[in-house]
Structure 1
Amino acid sequence: MPDAIMPDAAFLASLLTELRLPSIARNWRRIAEAADRDGWPAQKTIAALLEIEVAERASRRIQRHRDQPEAPAGKTFASFDFDAAPGVRKQHLLALGAGGDWIRNGDNLLLFGKSGTGKSHAMAAICHALIDAGRRVLFTRTIDLVQRLQTARRDLSLIGALDKLDKFDLIVLDDLSYGRKDQAETSVLFELIAHRYERHSIAITANQAFSAWATVFPDAAMTAAAVDRLVHHATIIEMNGESYRERSAARRAEREETPTLP
Structure 2
Amino acid sequence: MKSDVLAAQIKLYARELKMPGLSGAFEEVARDAAKAGRGHLESLSACLAAEVESRAEHRLAARIKGARFPSLKTFDTFDFSLLPSLRKNDVLGLGSGDFTRQRENVVCLGASGTGKTHVASAIGLSAIYAGARVRFTTAVTLSQELLAAADDHRLPRYLKSWRSADLVIVDELGYLPLGPGAPLMFQFFAERYEVGSVMVTTNLEFSRWTEVFGDATLTAALLDRLTHHSHVLVFEGESYRFRESAGRLTKPRN
Corresponding residue for residue 231 of structure 1: 227
1:217 aligns with 2:205: no
Q: TM-score, normalised by structure 2?
A: 0.85
Range moving further from structure 2, 202-211 or 89-98: 89-98
Distance 1:40 1:136 in 2: 39
1:62 aligns with 2:60: yes
- Conserved 8 A contact 1:105-1:199: no
Distance 2:226 2:87 in 1: 22
C-alpha RMSD of matched pairs (Å): 2.8
| CA shift for structure 1 position 98 | 2.4
- Conserved 8 A contact 1:152-1:161: yes
- Conserved 8 A contact 1:149-1:158: yes
Distance 2:14 2:226 in 1: 47
Corresponding residue for residue 243 of structure 1: 239
| Structure 2: runs of 5+ lacking an equivalent | none
Corresponding residue for residue 49 of structure 1: 47
- Conserved 8 A contact 2:143-2:181: yes
- Conserved 8 A contact 2:69-2:136: yes
Distance 2:244 2:11 in 1: 58
Corresponding residue for residue 128 of structure 2: 131
**Against the structure 1 CA distance between its residues 45 and 146, is the aligned structure 2 distance closer, same or farther, given a 3 Å change threshold?**
same
Distance 1:103 1:229 in 2: 15
1:150 aligns with 2:147: yes
1:111 aligns with 2:125: no
1:23 aligns with 2:18: no
Q: Whose radius of gyration is greater, 1 or 2? A: 1
**Against the structure 1 CA distance between its residues 12 and 142, is the aligned structure 2 distance closer, same or farther, given a 3 Å change threshold?**
same
Question: What SS is found at the alignment partner of 1:166?
Answer: coil
**Against the structure 1 CA distance between its residues 249 and 38, is the aligned structure 2 distance closer, same or farther, given a 3 Å change threshold?**
closer
**Against the structure 1 CA distance between its residues 25 and 219, is the aligned structure 2 distance closer, same or farther, given a 3 Å change threshold?**
same
Distance 1:98 1:215 in 2: 34
**Aligned amino acid, residue 147 of structure 1:** Q
Distance 1:74 1:162 in 2: 26
- Conserved 8 A contact 2:108-2:201: yes
Q: TM-score, normalised by structure 1?
A: 0.83
Deviation readout 1:183-202 (Å, 9 max, x if unpaired)? x3112212221222212111
Corresponding residue for residue 190 of structure 2: 194
| CA shift for structure 1 position 150 | 1.6
Corresponding residue for residue 80 of structure 1: 78
| CA shift for structure 1 position 161 | 1.4
Question: What SS is found at the alignment partner of 2:119?
Answer: helix
**Aligned amino acid, residue 126 of structure 1:** I
Question: What SS is found at the alignment partner of 1:237?
Answer: strand
1:204 aligns with 2:200: yes
- Conserved 8 A contact 1:115-1:243: yes
Deviation readout 1:162-217 (Å, 9 max, x if unpaired)? 222223221111111222222x3112212221222212111000111211112221
**Aligned amino acid, residue 129 of structure 1:** S
**Aligned amino acid, residue 174 of structure 2:** S
Distance 2:235 2:246 in 1: 20
**Against the structure 1 CA distance between its residues 249 and 24, is the aligned structure 2 distance closer, same or farther, given a 3 Å change threshold?**
closer
**Aligned amino acid, residue 124 of structure 1:** S
**Aligned amino acid, residue 208 of structure 2:** A
| CA shift for structure 1 position 152 | 1.3
